[in-house]
Amino acid sequence: MMQWVMAATLVCGLSVFTACSLDDNPTNPSVEPQNGLVTLPSGVVGEDYSIVKGEYVQTPEGPVLYVVRETVKVAFDGNDVYIAGLSGWYEDGFIKGTIDESGTAVFPSGQLIAIDGENEFYLNGVTRLTEEEKDEGKTESIIDIRFSYDAATRTLQLLDNNIIVESDAPGSMDHYAFVSYVKLTPGIRQEPSKVTPPEGIETQQWYVRASNDDGAVIGTVGVVQDGQDLYLQGLFPQMPSAWVKGTINGNKAVFPTGQFLGMSNDKEIYIQGQLENDEEGDIEFYYDAGNDRFIAMQDVILSEGILESFIDYYSNLVISREPNNPTAVEPPADLQTEEYDLSAYDYDLENNAIDYEGKFSNFLKIGFDGQDVYIKRLCESYREGWVKGTLSADGKTITIPANQYVGTIRSSTFTDEYYVTAIDSKGAMTDLVFDYDAVQGVLSTNQVIYYNTRPELFSPFPDPIAQVVISKKSEVAATPVAPSIDMSRTQHDYQMTANIPLVGTNGAWLMSDKTYYIIWIEKNGQAHPYTFTTARYDDLTADMTEIPYSFNSDTTFVERGNNIFIHETAEEVDTWTKVGVQTIYRGGGEEHKSSISWITPNFEIPDLE
């Protein structure tokens, strides 16, 4: 899934001091302490201001939000400005600044904001570095605290490169608390009003389909349309009665981001749109009038508090009048298939050009059932999926409908749907058509094959393929070309990468279901095949020494052997002087083995923190 970093006012308390990114630093001698506590001039009165923005703190236990308070005091006396409440501990302590000609309110560092017994507390400004600046070796330094000031709205916003730290010495970065991303707005924050649709208009129940961390989301949502105004109720199940309002114009519907949905556990709940650059933005839908459905153009976020914490999200959100759940192709149970080889070139999406240095190959299963043609593995990203095409009456072409659904992959962090399509000269999705030579057993196309990720809109991933030729394999005896192997250490175990070419030394294609491989280990000067046992590999149902080429399991054999995870201790693996891989082929009624390809492990121990 995506990374979602929200912003909110924070205090980094003593208990999470080590989580803050500031350098420990002794008192900066260039910063002189102010003479006593700041007090308001006679006749000047502080008014209530709301803090509306800040940020998270990363702690060893994960991200934690420390809210200072919702209200501070701000006072103006000519160009002088006073703020109380920026301290995480002493909300009555004022600091004083001056608004200069550029409209910047400058507060000198080192101002005393509290005296508690024998202890004194100060507010200091510190530079806030970007990740790029940190990578360049730059370090934080003491600076004045600077706010931009908008005279028209009387708002103050801490400059992006500023952090306010609370310390027990002027000019110190050794802090008790810090605040950043602060914006101050006049007035006490009031609970916002909730959206309600006009009375007397019937609420229709439409269907929702989306993805989140739990996989596919399927449900219903209330829909009310009043002219160009569009209302949705219960988009997220956490707030089933809440409404949001947007406007529809032609094929575009827009819902302003940040709409208030209601209160939950004393927290304000909002809905937001997340743009591709992770910034907040309005929620835009494409309206597909032909199918009566709305297709979200970005992720939709449910958040707790004003830009505070993420609760839930939807990707690939579709709202339709009728159910709109993709159905995977299921071939007939008695379908007879044969194995084919696919060869192609990668297609560079960025430059819209064939990458002739990127050769792509794959093996497919194809079966004919009258005029119906079933192809397995045309989508490399979902290898178990089928597509269905139609053989033309003259037997010379096979047509696969545009954007045919292949399948969905779900994990703990993402949900990806896959579709296969071609596009026309105007960029619209169109049928994929293969020329078919039944005598030679060859399918070919000049179209680019795209792997799409959306049911209605064109959103390709990963790179497509071009100049595709699919040829039926003939089973003949062959000695396999030698495979290759690599091995590296992960934080938890060891990972092998085995490349098993499906080709013989005579140039013949190997049949995948007659191809196997063995992992070899050299230990104490003796070489022997490695056995994957059920005692050590709990995702296996039987001990395995010969691994079928296409075998996959949950955690050991991933991506057809391209990733093999070895669950052995470092003490055991350190005794392996070599590791190797060998291919076995039992095609054409004969058995032939490749030579063993060996490597010497040389592990760089990763950072395990």
Domain-located, residue 571: yes
- For residue 542, is it within any domain? yes
CB 504 within 8 A of CB 593: no
Both 436 and 518 in one domain: the answer is no
Residue 123 placed within a domain: yes
Q: Look at residues 508, 482, 512, 505 and name the one whose alpha carbon lies nearest to residue 598.
A: 482
> Are residues 20 and 164 located together in one domain of the fold?
yes
- Residue 105 in contact with residue 98, Cβ under 8 Å? yes
Q: What is the CATH number of the domain that holds 299?
A: 2.40.128
Q: What is the DSSP string of 511-541?
A: PGGGEEEEEEEEETTEEEE--B-TTT-TT-S
3-state secondary structure 582-602: EEEECCCCCCEECCCEEECCC
Q: Specify whether 292 is located in the same domain as 357.
A: no
Dist CA 293 CA 121 (whole Å): 59
Task: List phi, psi (to 5°) of 18.
Answer: -70, -15
Q: Which position has the higher pLDDT, 30 or 549?
A: 549
Whether 2 shows a pLDDT value over 50: the answer reads: no
- The H or E element containing residue 178 is strand 175-179
Q: Are residues 503 and 446 in the same domain?
A: no
Please report the pLDDT score of residue 34 as a whole number.
Answer: 53
Domain final residue pick, 287, 320, 353: 320
Q: Is residue 478 assigned to a domain?
A: no
Average pLDDT for the chain: 84
Q: In percent, how much of the chain has pLDDT > 90?
A: 52
Side chain identity at 202, as an amino acid letter? E
**Angstrom distance (rounded) from CA 20 to CA 13:** 10
DSSP 504: B
According to the model, what pLDDT value does residue 462 have?
Answer: 79
Q: Do residues 570 and 446 share a domain? A: no
The Cα–Cα gap between 143 and 156 comes to 18
Mean pLDDT of 557-576: 81
**Average pLDDT in the 421-448 region?**
95
Which one, of 514, 517, 452, 437, lies nearest residue 478 by Cα?
514
Is 288 in the same domain as 377? no
Q: Mark whether 100 and 179 lie in a shared domain.
A: yes
Contact by Cβ (8 Å): 408, 212:
no
Least confident among 37-51, 408-422, 498-512:
408-422
pLDDT at 594 over 80: yes
| Structural domain of 72 | 14-186
Tell me if 294 sits within 8 A of 232, measured CB to CB: no
- What confidence score (pLDDT) does residue 3 get? 26
Over range 432-456, report the average pLDDT: 93
Q: Say if residue 314 is in the same domain as residue 345.
A: no
Q: Which of 130, 152, 186 is the last residue of a domain?
A: 186
**Domain assignment of residue 332, yes or no:** no
pLDDT of residue 609: 36
From 439, 472, 505, the end of a domain falls on: 472
Residue 2 lies in a domain: no
Q: pLDDT tens digit string along 237-274?
A: 999 999 999 999 999 999 998 898 988 876 778 898 88
> pLDDT, tens digit, for every residue of 177-221?
777 778 888 988 676 789 999 999 999 999 998 888 776 788 899
Asked if 179 and 208 sit in the same domain, the reply is no
In a domain, 220, yes or no: yes
Q: Which range (38-52, 61-75, 370-384) has the least confidence?
A: 61-75
Of 452 and 366, the structure prediction assigns the larger pLDDT to: 366
Residue 478: partners with Cβ closer than 8 Å, 6 or more residues away: 504, 505, 506, 508, 510, 585, 587, 588, 592
Give the total number of structural domains in the chain.
4
The H helix count followed by the E strand count for the chain is 2, 49
Indicate the pairing of strand 243-249 with strand 252-255: antiparallel
Domain check: are 68 and 132 in the same one? Answer: yes
Is the per-residue pLDDT at 393 higher than 60? Answer: yes
Residue 132 lies in a domain: yes
Residues 522, 463, single domain; the answer is: no
Q: Is the pLDDT of residue 363 over 70?
A: yes
**pLDDT, tens only, 312-330:** 889 889 999 988 778 899 9
Q: What is the pLDDT of residue 229?
A: 96
Per DSSP, the three-state class of 133 is helix
Q: What's the pLDDT tens digit per position in 5-50?
A: 222 233 332 222 223 344 444 344 344 445 589 999 999 999 999 8
Give exposure, 81-98, as e/b (b: 16+ Cβ within 10 Å).
Answer: bbbbbbbbbbbebbbbbe
Domain harbouring 569, CATH code: 2.60.40
- My answer on whether 516 and 595 are in the same domain is yes
CA dist., res. 255 & res. 576, Å (int): 61
